[in-house]
C-alpha cells in the first residue's frame, strides 16, 4: 500500500485506479494533486488530502488510505472531508449560486470491513427516508472500499489485492486488467526513482510533525525523538495487524515493502511479549 503514496500523484495511475473503482472505463482526469491542505477559514481543524483530482466534467475526487479504523470513525471523517472540500469552491458575493457546486466523490480505502457485510465496496448517496425512489441528488457520493472482501466486481477485487502487495504476480490478482497493468508499470518506475526513499519516510512524517510541536515546549531535539517514535509506532502497528492475520516476517516485509531485518526484529519483539505497546517496541527498535 505504501507505493500508492507516490503513484497517486501520477495522473495516469490515479486515472486507472479511479476508473476501476467507479466502473467508468472512459474516465479522464484534468487535474491531480497530492498532500493538498484544505484550510478551515474559521481557524479550526484543516485536512490534508492524500489524493485529490478533478475530471474533465469538473467532478472532484478525494481518495484516502485509512490503515487504522479502530481509533477513529471513518464515516464521520468522510462527512468532515465532504464539508471542507466544498468550502473553497464558491466565491463570496450575491451572484454566487449553489447550483454551481461541482459533484464530489469521497473514497476511503480500508484494510478492515467497517460495515461487516463482507463487500468490497460500499457506496452511499443521500436518500429520502419516506420515498425510496427519491434521491436528494445533491451531487455527493461516499465510497468505502474494503480490502478483506472478495465479493465485488472481479477487476475491483484484483485492484484492491494488487494495492495490498503492489505486485502483478500476486495470485489474488485474478483479472490482469489493462488498467492494473498500467498501474503496475508506473509503480515499478516509482520504485526505481529517488521518490521511493522519500515515500518510506512519509509514514513517519505525521509523528515527526507532532514531535516538532512537542519540541517547541520541551526542546526541539527531544520533540523530534518523540515524534519519530510515534511515527515508528505506526509501522509497528501495521506489522502487528499483519501478524494477527497469519503472515510471517518475510510476507510482511514484502507486503509493507520494508527491510526484512527490520520487520524480523519487530516481529521478534512483538511475539516475545505481547503486552508491549506499539510505542514501546518502536522505542526499542530505534535504540537498537
pLDDT tens for each residue of 37-77: 554 554 444 455 678 889 999 999 998 887 667 777 889 98
Give 10's pLDDT tier (boundaries 50, 70, 90): confident
Residue 228: helix, strand or coil by DSSP?
A: helix
- pLDDT tens digits, 198-250: 555 555 555 555 555 555 445 445 444 555 666 677 788 888 888 888 888 88
pLDDT of residue 116: 93
Read off the C-alpha cell for 76. 464521520
Cell numbers describing residue 243 = 501478524
Q: Is the separation of the CB atoms in 195 and 182 below 8 Å?
A: no
In the chain, what percentage of residues exceed pLDDT 70?
Answer: 73
User: What mean pLDDT, rounded, does the chain reach?
Assistant: 79
Spatial distance between the Cα atoms of 146 and 13, rounded to a whole number of angstroms: 20
Distances (CA, A) of 19 to 29, 165, 228: 10, 20, 36
Domain boundaries, the chain: 4-191, 195-287
Segment 78-100, tens digit of pLDDT: 888 888 788 777 665 556 677 88
DSSP E strands: which ranges in 177-221? none
Q: Which has more pLDDT, 3 or 238?
A: 238
pLDDT at 19: 95
Share above pLDDT 90 across residues of the chain, in percent, rounded to a whole number: 28
pLDDT: which is higher, 107 or 260:
107
- More confident: 183 or 48: 183
End-to-end CA distance of the chain: 27
Grid coordinates belonging to 278: 506499539
Amino acid at each position: 500500500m505504501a507505493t500508492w503514496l507516490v503513484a497517486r500523484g501520477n495522473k495516469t495511475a490515479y486515472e486507472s485506479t479511479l476508473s476501476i473503482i467507479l466502473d467508468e472505463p472512459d474516465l479522464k482526469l484534468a487535474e491531480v494533486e497530492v498532500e493538498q491542505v484544505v484550510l478551515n477559514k474559521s481557524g479550526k481543524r484543516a485536512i490534508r488530502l492524500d489524493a485529490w483530482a478533478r475530471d474533465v466534467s469538473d467532478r472532484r475526487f478525494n481518495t484516502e488510505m485509512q490503515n487504522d479504523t479502530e481509533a477513529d470513525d471513518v464515516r464521520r471523517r468522510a462527512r468532515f472531508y465532504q464539508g471542507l472540500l466544498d468550502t473553497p469552491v464558491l466565491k463570496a458575493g450575491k451572484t454566487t449560486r449553489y447550483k454551481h457546486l461541482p459533484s464530489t466523490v469521497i473514497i476511503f480505502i480500508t484494510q478492515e470491513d467497517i460495515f461487516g457485510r463482507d463487500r468490497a465496496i460500499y457506496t452511499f448517496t443521500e436518500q429520502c427516508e419516506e420515498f425510496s425512489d427519491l434521491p436528494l441528488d445533491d451531487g455527493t457520493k461516499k465510497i468505502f472500499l474494503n480490502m478483506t472482501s472478495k465479493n465485488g466486481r472481479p477487476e475491483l477485487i484484483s485492484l484492491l489485492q494488487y494495492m495490498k502487495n503492489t505486485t502483478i504476480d500476486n495470485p489474488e490478482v485474478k483479472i490482469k486488467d489493462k488498467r492494473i497493468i498500467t498501474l503496475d508499470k508506473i509503480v515499478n518506475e516509482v520504485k526505481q526513482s529517488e521518490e521511493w526513499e522519500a515515500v518510506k519516510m512519509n509514514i513517519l512524517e505525521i509523528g515527526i510533525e507532532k514531535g516538532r510541536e512537542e519540541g517547541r515546549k520541551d526542546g526541539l531535539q527531544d520533540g523530534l525523538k518523540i515524534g519519530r517514535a510515534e511515527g515508528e509506532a505506526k509501522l509497528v502497528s501495521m506489522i502487528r495487524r499483519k501478524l494477527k492475520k497469519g503472515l510471517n516476517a518475510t510476507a510482511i516485509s514484502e507486503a509493507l515493502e520494508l527491510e526484512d531485518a527490520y520487520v524480523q526484529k519487530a516481529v521478534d519483539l512483538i511475539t516475545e511479549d505481547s503486552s508491549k505497546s506499539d510505542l514501546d517496541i518502536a522505542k526499542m527498535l530505534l535504540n537498537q
